[in-house]
Amino acid sequence: MADSQLQDHLDPDEQPIYDRLSAIREELLHLKADRNKYVKSADVQDYFQRILAEVDSLNKIREPKRHEQNRVDYMLDDCFQLVSLFFLTIGRISEAPAIYSAISTVKRLLDHLKEADFYSPKDLESISNRIDQWQTSVDNGRERSGETLTTLLDARIDVCRKLLAGLKERLSRLDPGTADTYEKLVSILRSLSACNTRSKFPADEVEGFVEQLRQIRKELDVGTDTHVGMSAEQAYADRLAYRRGSVPNSTTDGPAVVRSLLRRCLLWAEIVQEKQGKIDERFKDTYQGLVKIRNNLEQMSLTQAWSLRETDLYSFQRQLDRIDESRVNGNFLDANGRPADLHAQRTLLYLLRKSYAYIYQYLITSEPVSEALLPIYNQLLTLKRCLEEVHRSGGVDDARDLYPYSMKLMSIDNMKKDGKFMVGNDIPEGQASVCNLLADCFDLTMDMRREAQEREEDEDKVQKDVEIAA
């Protein structure tokens, strides 16, 4: 929700807190935009403590009105989101503040999975495992991060767990015999949605997915759903309404769950083929905006390890949040307050979910290394992959072939001062991760050098035996 929408509800006593939080946010945004210097851990910790101080002040004012929400809360969320991303940027990925942004993103993802009403058991298992890891980090950081933040994170994790439980219940009837087919249908449905948002509609690719659905229908012996008297969109909407109004129970077996999803897939394929990638004109601006965000996030995956600063995700998060929060009862509305048709609604929801999924993936794959050490860390990762590939291929015939790798490793090792990688007078976070990676690379070169020498000795011995025998 935009600040301007809440302006009239701000308590005068909270105005100074809002002003100070606003100043903190501006400082964090300035720090985020400055790519000429590395972010220092001490600076991030200072901002975090300043935010916590404002929360304490707010809690005292809110004592008699704990459930009130106004512009201060949204400004506070902005600050927590930013400082959370900065904790990732400096490599402190397992501390409670770093988890804030990821939990917020997962909550959005779970809401969208529930709304879309199709997802796989693997989706839920992955998120569930990640939430368990976050809970451990929160528990371990209670003393360092303080009760204010950890209590908030506990509450958000609990909300996510409840959402997960409800989503898992929907799939509880699946058994090993039906789960694989269900997974395949989820994959096809997502692929159809992706095709639906391409700049050029891939008619042949969509027809290929339709053919796969026909084959599954044949295997399951499911009759053709002709939806006589109504359009495919109306039929799909009816199925969604029925699903949302039903409660899973013991009489809903796995095959019935799979057949229901298959019929939805066939209906969606029919809608996609009919629309040919064209969105309702009323929602074209929103559509193009979401496509741009999705494409930008997708392209970031190509350069993530080398150039992504986690705080870069903030602007994307906020753009998506504003679009998501602009909906009314889950509906995208046009300028006149009229809801989108089913195709536009599902297409925009897909783009929202996909964009949040990219952000989630970037957050959980953040390295435990400060951005100051990332160039070295990434070089070592690349070297290790190359060395492992050489090793898997049988190693080297001559130890001298390892000379370029050894020289590069020595040049990196020589960058250390008193055993640490320094940036000026600072000791960036992630020393152990970088040093362990460097040690792994040295071990690989030593193993291959030893193996090459042993092969050379064996060959010399064989040659001598041949000469003696001659």
Q: Which of 105, 96, 82 is nearest to 312 (CA)?
A: 82
Listed range (174-183, 321-330, 379-388) with the worst mean pLDDT: 174-183
Tokens of 195: 């095709």
Q: What is the mean pLDDT of the chain?
A: 90
The pLDDT confidence band at residue 245, using thresholds 50, 70 and 90, is: low
- Whole-number pLDDT of residue 62: 82
* Higher local confidence (pLDDT), 217 or 64: 217
Q: Is 368 exposed, middle or buried (0-12, 13-18, 19+ CB in 10 A)?
A: middle
Give SS3 for 150: helix
Give SS3 for 453: helix
- In DSSP notation, 207-268 reads HHHHHHHHHHHHHHTPPP---TTS-HHHHHHHHHHHHHH----TTS-HHHHHHHHHHHHHHH
- Whole-number pLDDT of residue 177: 82
Domain ranges of the chain: 1-92, 176-275, 374-469
Tokens of 312: 């870069």
Q: Please give the average per-residue pLDDT across 77-99, as a whole number.
A: 95
Instruction: Report the 10 Å Cβ neighbour count for 384.
Output: 16
Distance CA 456, CA 110 (A): 59
The share of the chain scoring above pLDDT 90, in percent, equals: 70
The pLDDT confidence band at residue 85, using thresholds 50, 70 and 90, is: very high
Write down how long the chain is: 470
- Whole-number pLDDT of residue 66: 65
Q: 125-179: per-residue pLDDT in tens?
A: 999 999 999 999 999 988 888 888 899 999 999 999 999 999 999 898 888 889 9
- Whole-number pLDDT of residue 7: 46
The pLDDT confidence band at residue 44, using thresholds 50, 70 and 90, is: very high
Give SS3 for 99: helix
Q: Please give the average per-residue pLDDT across 46-61, as a whole number.
A: 93
CB-based contact 433:367 (threshold 8 Å): yes
CB-based contact 254:177 (threshold 8 Å): yes
Is residue 352 scored above 70 in pLDDT?
yes
Listed range (190-194, 250-254, 354-358, 399-403) with the worst mean pLDDT: 250-254
Is residue 216 scored above 50 in pLDDT?
yes
Q: 231-243: per-residue pLDDT in tens?
A: 999 999 888 887 7
- Whole-number pLDDT of residue 2: 45
Angle at CA of residue 139, ends 358 and 134, nearest 5°: 10
The share of the chain scoring above pLDDT 70, in percent, equals: 93
Distance CA 349, CA 117 (A): 11
- Whole-number pLDDT of residue 465: 66
Is residue 214 scored above 70 in pLDDT?
yes
The pLDDT confidence band at residue 348, using thresholds 50, 70 and 90, is: very high
- In DSSP notation, 390-447 reads HHHTT--SSGGGGHHHHHHHHHHHTTEETTEE-BTTB--S-HHHHHHHHHHHHHHHHH
Distance CA 372, CA 37 (A): 9
Q: 415-456: per-residue pLDDT in tens?
A: 999 999 998 888 999 999 999 999 999 999 999 999 998 888
The pLDDT confidence band at residue 9, using thresholds 50, 70 and 90, is: low
Instruction: Please state whether beta strands 416-417 and 420-421 pair in parallel, antiparallel, or not at all (unpaired).
Output: antiparallel
Distance CA 398, CA 419 (A): 31
Cα–Cα distance list, 321 to 110, 282, 325, 414 (Å):
14, 20, 6, 46
- Whole-number pLDDT of residue 270: 95
